Amino acid sequence: MKINIFSVGIYFVSSIFICIFVYEQEWYKLLGVLLLDFLFFYHRKYMEKIYLNELENITDALEQMFIKKEINIKYENTDTLSDKILTQIHRINAANNGYQRLLQHQKDGIKKLLAEISHQLRTPLANMESYLTLLEDEIHVKEQREYFEAIKCSEAKIKFLTERFILAARMENKIIQIHKIPSDLKETVAIAIFQIYKIAEMKDIFIEVIDERVDKCIIEHDANWLSESVYNLLDNSVKYSPNRTCIKIFLRTNEMFSEICVEDGGIGIEKDEENKIFQIYYRGKNISTEEGYGMGLYITREIIKKHDGFMKAKRIKQGLSISIFLPKTGTN
Ligand code: ADP
């Protein structure tokens, strides 16, 4: 606690007077001094209270500004220091809000522009693809074939990137609409296997489905989007597994959830990465030459969230296990 020199001085002088008046038995004067002391003491307490209130108002206003709430501390346009500080806080807050709005506006603009560019790229890319297919049989010289393959590979990369980008933009703008229809998960998984089968075969990777469900359960889901999700998991498993390995797809149920679990014997992930791999643009520490953009699992989890489900990744002895859990509510 700070000692106020002025107050100590006042109390010191008044004590001297009190001693003198007691000594001289001047009772009226003594009463007067005591009354003055009393008034001085209460005036100080009153001023302290006002001062603390003003400080509290200032800290409340600052707190509301930090947690981005509307500042509702009132102030009067007086000349007091605290009102001046409150006015300044309101002005800083208004400027900050304006700046945030501008930033958001610019961010939305960039997103829109990128989405637009991706859309515009689709037609020329489709044209390129058609002409490349037409050219394919016409190239017989070895050197020309190498160039041709390089162009084809670059075209595939640009296409992959734009498609993924369009998908991500749609997810963010909540354009993806999930239409749930009751159907068997096994059939949806089969669609995904059908799409990946050829690529897996090229690496001599065997895909096995193990149905551990006790009851045949029909789940309300969007087969298109869910098969896309399972495809993303299988695509990763094939990409991050060596040749001649096996991918197992387990179908399980419990009282509340249906589970699709994809297990592979690939490179796996590091210990602290189980949650990180679902973040957008995140790429694992184990990867070396495998190409990718770190969007597949992010999009997959967004699709599953829209089904009111969740995902879990687990490191296993050799490889990775990723599960999709879907609620059984609305099942038959
Ligand atoms: P990408 O595969 O394009 O990098 P994803 O979002 O599909 O993006 O995956 C994010 C990261 O998660 C990958 O970079 C990889 O490190 C890790 N990952 C995903 N699936 C597997 C898997 N089956 N085996 C090993 N690592 C995986």
* pLDDT above 80 for 172: no
Q: Residues 215-234: pLDDT tens digits?
A: 767 899 999 889 989 999 99
Is residue 174 very low, low, confident or very high in pLDDT (cuts 50, 70, 90)? low
Q: Residues 60-117: pLDDT tens digits?
A: 888 888 887 777 777 666 678 888 888 888 889 889 889 989 998 988 888 778 777 8
State the burial class of residue 13 (Cβ atoms within 10 Å of its Cβ: 0-12, 13-18, 19+): exposed
Is residue 46 very low, low, confident or very high in pLDDT (cuts 50, 70, 90)? very high
Q: Is the CB of 234 within 6 Å of ligand 1?
A: no
Cα(286) to centroid(ligand 1), Å? 9
3-class secondary structure for the chain?
Answer: CCCCHHHHHHHHHHHHHHHHHHHHCCHHHHHHHHHHHHHHHHHHHHHHHHHHHHHHHHHHHHHHHHCCCCCCCCCCCCCCHHHHHHHHHHHHHHHHHHHHHHHHHHHHHHHHHHHHHHHHHHHHHHHHHHHHHHHHCCCCCHHHHHHHHHHHHHHHHHHHHHHHHHHHHHHHCCCCCCCCEEEEHHHHHHHHHHHHHHHHHHCCCEEEEEECCCCCCEEEECHHHHHHHHHHHHHHHHHCCCCCCEEEEEEEECCCEEEEEEECCCCCCCHHHCCHHHCCCCCCCCCCCCCCCCCHHHHHHHHHHHCCCEEEEEEECCEEEEEEEEECCCCC
CA–CA gap between residue 125 and residue 122 (Å, rounded): 5
* pLDDT above 60 for 259: yes
Cα(295) to centroid(ligand 1), Å? 9
Instruction: Considering only residues 332 and 238, tell me which one the structure prediction assigns the higher pLDDT.
Output: 238
- Compute and round to an integer the Cα radius of gyration of the chain: 36
Work out the angle between the directed axes of helices 296-306 and 142-172 (0-180°, nearest 10).
40
Mean pLDDT on 31-45? 91
Is residue 193 very low, low, confident or very high in pLDDT (cuts 50, 70, 90)? very high
Q: Which atom of ligand 1 is nearest to the CA of 262?
A: 23
Q: What is the pLDDT of residue 332?
A: 45
Q: Is the CB of 276 within 6 Å of ligand 1?
A: no
Q: What are phi and psi of 327, to 5 degrees?
A: -65, 145
What residue owns the CA closest to ligand 1's atom 20? 236
CA–CA gap between residue 209 and residue 318 (Å, rounded): 19
Cα(291) to centroid(ligand 1), Å? 10
Domain positions in the chain are 2-74, 106-172, 181-327
Q: Is the CB of 315 within 6 Å of ligand 1?
A: no
Cα(116) to centroid(ligand 1), Å? 27
Q: What is the pLDDT of residue 324?
A: 98
Q: What is the pLDDT of residue 252?
A: 94
Q: Is the CB of 265 within 6 Å of ligand 1?
A: no
CA–CA gap between residue 301 and residue 305 (Å, rounded): 6
Lowest-confidence region among 80-94, 163-177, 261-275, 286-300: 163-177
Residue 295: partners with Cβ closer than 8 Å, 6 or more residues away? 164, 167, 168, 280, 281
Mean pLDDT on 301-327? 95
* pLDDT above 90 for 177: no
Q: What is the pLDDT of residue 75?
A: 67
Lowest-confidence region among 12-21, 79-88, 249-258, 281-290: 79-88
Instruction: Considering only residues 294 and 189, tell me which one the structure prediction assigns the higher pLDDT.
Output: 189
Q: Is the CB of 267 within 6 Å of ligand 1?
A: yes
Cα(236) to centroid(ligand 1), Å? 6
CA–CA gap between residue 182 and residue 134 (Å, rounded): 42
* pLDDT above 70 for 3: no
Cα(83) to centroid(ligand 1), Å? 56
Q: What is the mean pLDDT of the chain?
A: 87
Q: What is the pLDDT of residue 63?
A: 87
Q: Which atom of ligand 1 is nearest to the CA of 268?
A: 25
What residue owns the CA closest to ligand 1's atom 17? 284
Encoded tokens for 148? 């041709």
Q: Residues 122-138: pLDDT tens digits?
A: 788 888 888 998 898 88
Query: What CATH number does domain 181-327 carry, 3.30.565.10, 3.30.1490.100, 3.40.50.720, 2.40.160.60?
Result: 3.30.565.10
Q: What is the pLDDT of residue 175?
A: 60
CA–CA gap between residue 223 and residue 182 (Å, rounded): 9
Q: What is the pLDDT of residue 2?
A: 56
Instruction: Considering only residues 319 and 80, tell me which one the structure prediction assigns the higher pLDDT.
Output: 319
Work out the angle between the directed axes of helices 296-306 and 223-239 (0-180°, nearest 10).
150
Q: What is the pLDDT of residue 209?
A: 96
What residue owns the CA closest to ligand 1's atom 3? 292
Instruction: Considering only residues 267 and 160, tell me which one the structure prediction assigns the higher pLDDT.
Output: 267
